[in-house]
Structure 1
Amino acid sequence: MSEALIKHFAKKLIAWHGVDGRQGLPWQSVRDPYAVWVSEIMLQQTQVATVLERYPRFMKRFPTIKKLAAAPLDDVLAEWAGLGYYTRARNLHACAKQVVEAFGGKFPSDTILLEQLKGIGRSTAGAIAAFAFHERAPILDANVKRILARLFGIEGTIQEKAVNDQLWLLAKKLLPNNAADMPVYTQALMDFGATWCTSRKPVCLTGIKRCPFAKDCQANLSDQVLVLPRKVIKAKSPEFDCDMLLLRHGDTVLLQKRPEKAIWGGLWSLPESEWRAKEKNLAGHAQRSEAYLTSKDLFKLVLPNEKTFTALKSCKPIERGLEIKHIFTHRRLWMQIWHVSTSDAVKLSGGDLQWVSLRQLGKYGLPQPIKLLLQALSLVRGDDLRS
């Protein structure tokens, strides 16, 4: 392992950032731990371009941690809609309550205490400590793991505990000696992985610019840049079918609140059937689907309550709508939409079902495909869902 690289890494990286790093991001040069924390959570698994639009809006609606903690979870989920991975939003809300209740609304500077908060892992704790408190705390997100694995020629997959432990030790060794350099160093590390030492098209293979670590990078010297870090071969994502009921009464639509621990947990969506393994026989799948056009069995699947089924007998004929494909991280879902309208304001049992005015949909957290479906069908104007 190159001791010279370890010794000069931070200085070279900071110098690189002054010329080629990203500048002017709204969360840069911010020392408010609340603002830092929100940006870090939002940037997890979300593209920077999207966060650039949504971060200022979120901060305007919830300008302080006390405002966020006091807000209803539905309001937080509605503001988060479209950013995906909604567990982050629920954890954000829960963490805000923790900080208010346990620390009087002020984030602790100690990384050990930060890690004990809901939704904050070791790397996020390090980022908050580095940016907000100038603590010499390392970060180790996916981009940083890739950088270190390439620079130091670390074999094995980053999912292996031994490899992960080795990367953490390296991340700590590489920290600048001067704590005042921690914000720019941490930002530079993030930027270098996101813009130069990328997964598929690192700068060193394009010939556009010269990497400051080209002469030291073990992956570059051994022609293994696209090989390191080693990748785990992923199994093919399973595919599922489900039926969704788009039930309308006048200018209202029936929504159902999803269970907290389910996919899209806590969001409002269309009532749906249980997921089932996708039909491999397309002819059989089409035949099964068409059968619903003349039957109300659909209601037994999506609204199994017998009383509800009886109340819906007067509804108009079912119309088959779009079949929407949505890709999650580890699975794919095909949603068959069925359109039904009723002239009666059916009283539905259960607190998870609610008639919602089309003009009020913007106040509810909706899964992105459902939100887009309603927009595409012209059920509401686009600004109704953004309000």
Structure 2
Amino acid sequence: MSKALINTFAKKLIAWHGVSGRSGLPWQNNRDPYAVWVSEIMLQQTQVATVLERYPRFMKRFPTVKKLAVADIDGVLAEWAGLGYYSRARNLHACAQAVVTDFAGKFPSDPLLLEQLKGIGRSTAGAIAAFAFHERAPILDANVKRILARLFAIEGAIQDKVVNDRLWALAKELLPTSPQDMPVYTQALMDFGATWCTARKPVCLTGEKKCPFIKECQANLSDQVLLLPQKTVKAKSPEFDCNMLLIRSGNSVLLQKRPSKAIWGSLWSLPESAWTPKAPADAGVHMSVKALFALTLPGEKSSAHMKLCKALEKIEEIKHVFTHRRLWMHIWQTSSVKELQFANPDLKWVSLSQLGRYGLPQPIKILLQGLSLARGDDLEN
């Protein structure tokens, strides 16, 4: 391993950032740990362009950790709608409450203490400590792993613990000696991986720009740029079917709050059946109201309910791709002459005009938005 590169890496990277790094992002040059934390969580698995739009809106609604801590979880999830990976929003809310309760509303500067908070992993803790408190704490997100694996020809799947531990040790060794350089160095690492040392089109292979490490990068010198870092081969994602009940009464629709630990946890969605392995495309063309109620509203005494419902119609088939699975949602619509009463407290009638106050899974939000627009309502209220 090149000691010369280790000794000069931080200085070269900071110099590169002064010329080619990103600037003007709303979360940059901010030492407020709350603002840094929100941006770091939001940027996880979300495109920067999307965060540029949603981050200012979130910060306007929840400007301080105390405001977020006392907010209703439904309001937080509603504000997060469309960003995906909703456990991040639930963890934000829980973390804010812990900061207020356990740390008097002030984020700790120690990365080890930050790591103990809900939803904050080692890399995020390092980013918060570096940006907000100038702590010499390393980060190791996917971009940084790619940079280091290429520069130093780190072989082995990055998911392996031995490889991951080696990358963490290297990330710590590369830190600048001056704590005052930590914010720009950390931002430079993120920018270099996001814009130059990218997964599929790194600048060293395009010839458009000259990488500052082109003569030292072991992957470049050995023609392995696109081969590093190594990843384990993913198995094909399993596919599932589920039936969903869209029951309307006048200007309202029946929603059900999902379990907190389920996919789309704590969001409001349509009552749904259990997921089953994907069936042939022509299966499930017909469904009775009785059968659908039994599948989507188990435990409810539905005989009286069914008498009040009109004919059932399959109106939509929605495919949604999760990280590790694919779901085909079969939407069945009926209507009721009045708002039926159910024993389950997680079932609730919600006016189409008030849907914007609830956190909804994105495909369900789009579906209901179509109903709302047809009625002239505003889902964003």
TM over 0.5: yes
Equivalent residues in 2 for 1:356-367 (5 A)? Answer: 356-367=350-361
Q: Deviations over 1:177-235 (max 9, x none)?
A: 11111001000000111111111111111111111111000000111001001111000
Between 1:371-380 and 1:358-367, the stretch displaced more is 371-380
The answer to whether the aligner puts 1:104 opposite 2:99 as a matched pair is: no
Distance in 1, matches of 2:291 and 2:45, equals 39
Distance 1:311 1:373 in 2: 24
Matched letter for residue 282 of structure 1 = A
Alpha-carbon shift at residue 314 of structure 1 (Å): 1.9
Question: Unpaired segments of 5 or more residues in structure 1?
Answer: none
Q: Does 1:385 find its partner at 2:359?
A: no
Give me the whole-angstrom Cα distance separating, in 2, the residues matched to 1:189 and 1:382: 47
Per-residue deviation, 1:385: 2.7
Could you tell me which amino acid in structure 2 is paired with residue 290 of structure 1?
V
Letter in 1 for 2:84: G
- Counterparts of 1:295 and 1:368 in 2: how far apart (Å)? 26
Offset of residue 295 of structure 1: 4.9
TM-score, scaled relative to structure 1 = 0.96
Runs of 4+ in 1 over 6 A off after TM superposition: 380-383
Could you say what secondary structure the match of 1:210 adopts? coil
Aligned residues: 381
Per the TM alignment, residue 308 of structure 1 is displaced from its structure 2 partner at its CA by 3.4
| Aligned-residue CA RMSD (Å) | 1.3
> 1:359 touches 1:380 (CA, 8 Å); kept in 2?
no
Contact 2:290 2:302 survives alignment (8 Å)? no
Match of 1:303 among 271, 289, 297: 297
TM-score by length of 2: 0.98
Q: Is the 8 A contact 2:352 2:372 kept in 1?
A: no
What is aligned with 1:355?
349
**1:29-55 CA distance string (max 9 Å, x none):** 000000000000000000000000000
The alignment-based identity, stated in percent, is: 74
Give the letter for the 2:149 counterpart.
A
Q: Which runs of 5+ in 2 are unaligned?
A: none
CA gap of 1:23–1:306, structure 2 versus 1, over 3 A, is closer
CA–CA separation in structure 1 for the residues paired with 2:7 and 2:261: 46
Contact 1:252 1:355 in 2 (8 A): yes
Distance in 2, Cα, partners of 1:383 & 1:121: 41
Distance 1:140 1:54 in 2: 24
Name the aligned partner's letter for residue 138 of structure 1.
P
Determine the C-alpha separation between the residues in 2 that align with 1:131 and 1:198.
23
Number of the residue aligned with 1:330? 324
Q: Aligned with 2:348: secondary structure?
A: strand
**Match of 1:282?**
281
Residue 204 of structure 1 is matched in structure 2 by 204
Task: Tell me if the contact between 2:372 and 2:378 (Cα under 8 Å) persists in the aligned partners.
Answer: no
Mapping of 1:57-72 within 5 angstroms? Answer: 57-72=57-72
Q: Is the 8 A contact 1:110 1:129 kept in 2?
A: yes
- Measure the CA separation in 2 of the matches of 1:137 and 1:15: 20
Tell me which amino acid in the other structure corresponds to 1:73.
I
